[in-house]
Amino acid sequence: DIDHLNLRVQKELVEWLNWLKADIGFDGWRFDFAKGYSADVAKIYIDRSEPSFAVAEIWTSLAYGGDGKPNLNQDQHRQELVNWVDKVGGKGPATTFDFTTKGILNVAVEGELWRLRGTDGKAPGMIGWWPAKAVAFVDNHDTGSTQHMWPFPSDRVMQGYAYILTHPGTPCIFYDHFFDWGLKEEIDRLVSVRTRHGIHNESKLQIIEADADLYLAEIDGKVIVKLGPRYDVGNLIPGGFKVAAHGNDYAVW
């Protein structure tokens, strides 16, 4: 174990981070198991090494109901993520992985897409509250891959990417999905749509529909994304929009 309250430990870790930055060329940090030490300590490392980007892994359990599924309201869960960024410094480079969005998406794509509109009408994860500080993801080395601790439904992974790559927040693509699953071209198309239309971490999200079999949203008035098996949505798509990417139960205009 590392005693992060020990001043010598702090000094040597800061020196190491600055060496990684100046000599090796790294410019961002990932804080593993960030709930294992205080945000005050993370703030020391960030302030004294000045990375251009920093993201924390704060993985805690969602609130579950008696049916074993997440409650619709996950405000406490996403508040914990917001609190960490607040304590580290909201004006700095600190962000957190949006585990709230991950957990809700896991279930929503299994015929419960109504979950993607929170009680306030916004996105239900951290991206609905503070998208500039939310790093959205579908799976990572812990949840998916060989560890398989909280995997996304494998046949619906591209629905997850259609969501995070068109929405506000900073999307994170999982190595395995991109290089090992044969999804590179599909993911590339979604990345191209995001880049071409300038969708960014503070883009404006308007949720048009959130039903069991259909989620439809417009981003920045430029991009529309549909998740779910409902096919006939033409009456909900404004004129002038053309399909730019599509796949199993998703489409992007």
pLDDT 10s digits, 215-228: 999 999 999 999 99
How many CA atoms lie less than 13 Å away from 115 in the CB half-sphere? 22
pLDDT tens for each residue of 79-136: 999 999 999 999 999 999 999 999 999 999 999 999 999 999 999 999 999 999 999 9
Alpha helices in the chain (DSSP H): 7-19, 39-49, 75-89, 99-108, 157-164, 175, 184-196
Task: Give how far Cα 89 sits from Cα of 59, 96, 173, Å.
Answer: 20, 12, 25
Instruction: Kindly tell me if the per-residue pLDDT of 2 is higher than 90.
Output: no
Question: Catalytic site residues?
Answer: 32, 57
Tokens of 39: 């945000």
pLDDT tens for each residue of 130-179: 999 999 999 999 999 889 999 999 999 999 999 999 999 999 999 999 99
pLDDT confidence of residue 1: 79
Could you tell me the pTM of the whole model? Answer: 0.97
pLDDT-based confidence at 242, cuts 50/70/90?
very high
| Residue 168 contacts residue 197 (beta carbons within 8 Å) | no
Paired residues of 251 in beta bridges: 226, 246
Paired residues of 70 in beta bridges: 64
**146-171 in b/e burial notation, b at 16+ Cβ within 10 A?**
eeeeeebeeebbbbbbbbbbbbbbbb
Domain range list for the chain: 58-203
pLDDT confidence of residue 94: 98
pLDDT confidence of residue 250: 98
* Burial group, residue 230, by CB count within 10 angstroms (0-12, 13-18, 19+): middle
Task: Give how far Cα 88 sits from Cα of 78, 92, 203, Å.
Answer: 16, 8, 24
pLDDT confidence of residue 56: 98
Task: Give how far Cα 231 sits from Cα of 31, 224, 248, Å.
Answer: 42, 15, 11
Closest CA to 27 of 10, 48, 49, 44: 49
CA distance 14 to 65: 43
Q: How many CB atoms lie within 10 A of CB 219?
A: 21
| 107 CB-near residues (< 8 Å, 6+ apart) | 69, 70, 115
pLDDT tens for each residue of 24-50: 999 999 999 999 999 999 999 999 999
More reliable by pLDDT, 69 or 1: 69
Average pLDDT score over the chain: 97
pLDDT tens for each residue of 71-84: 999 999 999 999 99
CATH class of segment(s) 58-203: alpha beta
pLDDT-based confidence at 13, cuts 50/70/90?
very high
Count of H-run helices and E-run strands, the chain: 7, 10
3-class secondary-structure state, position 39 = helix
